[in-house]
Amino acid sequence: MSKRKNISDMVLSLGGRRAVEIGVHLGEHAGMILNRTAIDILYLVDPWSDEFYSRKYKGNERYRICKKNLRKYGNRVNFIRDVSTSAVNLFPDHFFSFVYIDAQHQYEYIVEDLRIWWPKCKYGGIFAGHDYVEFNRKTGKKIGGVKDAVDEICAARSIIPNITEEYIPSWWFIK
């Protein structure tokens, strides 16, 4: 798959019914998932807090924009305004057919998200995420820890992740 939107096509072909996106921002990716799939419900986990968003829009403003962007999907969207380590406890294991992680990108946070959300993805479901990069292409500086964390969890499970061919690639595999 060359683009992250194609991951949603895979969800559709597998007949996925429940999905979660951890780290939602303004809801652009969530809207694409809902447009391209027949998912019954997409749970959106993000604290939308000033602590995590300090650039152009503050947390409450980002939350308002996200809700506005996704309101046309009605009850297909469930907003969970919380950190991932707390929100994960709302769901039983093997609940989701699609888990997409795009939250905090520092190594220790992504390792934790991968560890706690792994059991929530059903076997045969898609486990995926964004920002599979190690260095900023413009500055050459190391950014985040997504690539290292994903490579580590995959190696521990003898999984080879699929990587999209975008400027900022996504990673995915079938659990």
Q: Whole-structure pTM over 0.85, yes or no?
A: yes
Instruction: Spell out the per-residue pLDDT of the chain, length 175, in tens.
Output: 688 877 887 787 777 799 999 999 999 999 999 999 989 999 999 999 877 655 666 778 889 999 999 999 999 999 999 999 999 999 999 999 999 999 988 899 999 999 999 999 999 999 999 999 876 666 766 677 899 999 999 999 999 999 998 888 999 999 9
Q: Token pair 């595999």 is at which residue? A: 173
Q: Please give the DSSP secondary-structure letter assigned to residue 138.
A: T
Q: Which of 43, 38, 31 is nearest to 120 (CA)?
A: 43
The token pair that represents 100 in the structure block: 């997409």
Looking at residue 64, its pLDDT comes to 94
- Residue 60's pLDDT is what? 84
Strands of the 41-45 sheet, one edge to the other: 77-80, 41-45, 18-22, 96-101, 121-130, 170-174, 162-163
Nearest to 144 by CA among 7, 23, 3: 23
DSSP 93: T
What does the pLDDT read at residue 79?
Answer: 98
Contact 3, 166 (CB under 8 A): yes
Query: What pLDDT does 104 receive?
Result: 86
Where do runs of H (alpha helix) occur along the chain? 5-14, 28-36, 59-70, 84-87, 107-117, 146-156
CA nearest to 98, candidates 125, 76, 130, 120? 125
What are the φ/ψ torsions at residue 99 (nearest 5 degrees)? -120, 125
Domains (range + CATH), the chain: 5-174 (3.40.50.150)
What was the pLDDT predicted at 129? 96
Looking at residue 1, its pLDDT comes to 64
